[in-house]
Amino acid sequence: MPTRSLPSLDANARTLAAPARRAKAAAAASASGGVQSLTRGLSLLEKLAETEGGITLTEIANRVNLPPSTTHRLLNTLADMGFVYQAKDSGLWYVGLKTYRVGCAFISNRDFVGESHAYLRKLMEASGETANLSILDGTYACFIGQVQCHEVMRMLVRLGSRIPAHASGSGKAMLAALPEDELGIVFAHSDLVQLTPKTITDPGKLRVQFAAIRARGYSYDDEENAMGLRCVAAPIYDEFAEPLGAISLAGPIARLTDERILKLGPLVAHTAREITERLGGMVPVAA
């Protein structure tokens, strides 16, 4: 008599646990006042967005813990509205054009300065130093936001003012985050002026420092823009993992000692990541 192989214990456990997981998810959606089908549909979109390339019906059904039949019905509804589509040749499912348009609407409507202000204030309170927000304007770092600290000796900068990017913590943080071809263009159009005896003006030395910045996650300006002043900064990234701007802490060298910069650097980098996520950006994997 032929023998019939039995499912493994793990397979049985998954089979028994799946309905419980679905029931738990449904109860959570109900408790929060959510609509179950909407919650499931958005979960499908989220999983599709996380997938590089297309995904099969079975794979995405497993990822959202739904039966293939339910998953197929939801995908067809999303496809009718243009949020997803299925490739005819492979049968794989992809994020659709409508999803991209919704994402673009968020990006175009985000308030970069306004969204960052609360993080700058939190950073200032945690560090006791002036927090700044800047963007890259050609070969310059341009200040567009600031929360001043409570110290008598503090950095004051006029919003809209610019300083050479290669001679500032914020500027170097953004330059280090640029693709190599764009960095080459910046170097080609920058005078790399010497502002203080500590300003780095050699492109090769700057590239070495940029590699260290990328590995560390933050940059610092050691009296390179003005004697007696130090700055520690980290880049904010956009949805293409390219530098959108940078945040920084600046203060006198008497307070921003080597030991303190080692403590403040990770704090600034963490805050930059929070702003990046808040704005829908993406931190490069290498960072």
pLDDT tens for residues 152-206?
Answer: 766 777 777 889 999 999 999 999 999 988 898 888 888 899 999 999 999 999 9
Question: Do 86 and 190 share a domain, yes or no?
Answer: no
Question: Do 143 and 75 share a domain, yes or no?
Answer: no
In a domain, 10, yes or no: no
Question: Do 69 and 86 share a domain, yes or no?
Answer: yes
- What integer best gives the mean pLDDT of the chain? 83
- In this prediction, what percent of the chain has a pLDDT beyond 90? 54
Question: Do 100 and 116 share a domain, yes or no?
Answer: no
- Supply φ then ψ for residue 103, to 5 degrees: -60, -40
pTM reported for the whole predicted model = 0.64
- Predicted confidence band of residue 22 (pLDDT cuts 50, 70, 90): very low
In a domain, 225, yes or no: yes
Handedness of CA 118, 119, 125, 131 (dihedral sign): negative
Question: Do 139 and 258 share a domain, yes or no?
Answer: yes
Question: Do 118 and 238 share a domain, yes or no?
Answer: yes
* CA neighbor of 219 nearest in space, from 209, 233, 200, 208: 233
* CA neighbor of 228 nearest in space, from 189, 208, 257: 257
Tokens of 217: 């996650």
What distance in Å separates the CA atoms of residue 76 and residue 37, rounded to the nearest whole number? 13
Is the confidence at residue 107, as pLDDT, over 80?
no
- What mean pLDDT is predicted for residues 25-41? 62
Is the confidence at residue 212, as pLDDT, over 80?
yes
Is the confidence at residue 211, as pLDDT, over 90?
yes
Question: Do 125 and 251 share a domain, yes or no?
Answer: yes
Exposed / middle / buried, residue 15 (Cβ in 10 Å: 0-12, 13-18, 19+): exposed
Question: Do 133 and 185 share a domain, yes or no?
Answer: yes
Give the per-residue pLDDT at 171: 96
Question: Do 133 and 266 share a domain, yes or no?
Answer: yes
Question: Do 95 and 121 share a domain, yes or no?
Answer: no
Question: Do 97 and 124 share a domain, yes or no?
Answer: no
Of the candidates 62, 82, 106, which is a domain's last residue?
106
In a domain, 146, yes or no: yes
The domain total for the chain is 2
Give the per-residue pLDDT at 1: 41
Letter string b/e over residues 126-155, b meaning 16 or more CB atoms within 10 A of that residue's CB: ebebbbbbbbbeebbbbbbbbbebeeeeeb
> In the 8-state DSSP scheme, what is residue 55?
B
Give the per-residue pLDDT at 12: 38
- Predicted confidence band of residue 112 (pLDDT cuts 50, 70, 90): confident
Question: Do 36 and 142 share a domain, yes or no?
Answer: no
Of the candidates 106, 127, 160, which is a domain's last residue?
106
In a domain, 11, yes or no: no
Please give the residue range of the domain that contains residue 215: 110-278
pLDDT tens for residues 49-94?
Answer: 877 778 999 999 999 999 999 999 999 999 999 999 999 889 999 9
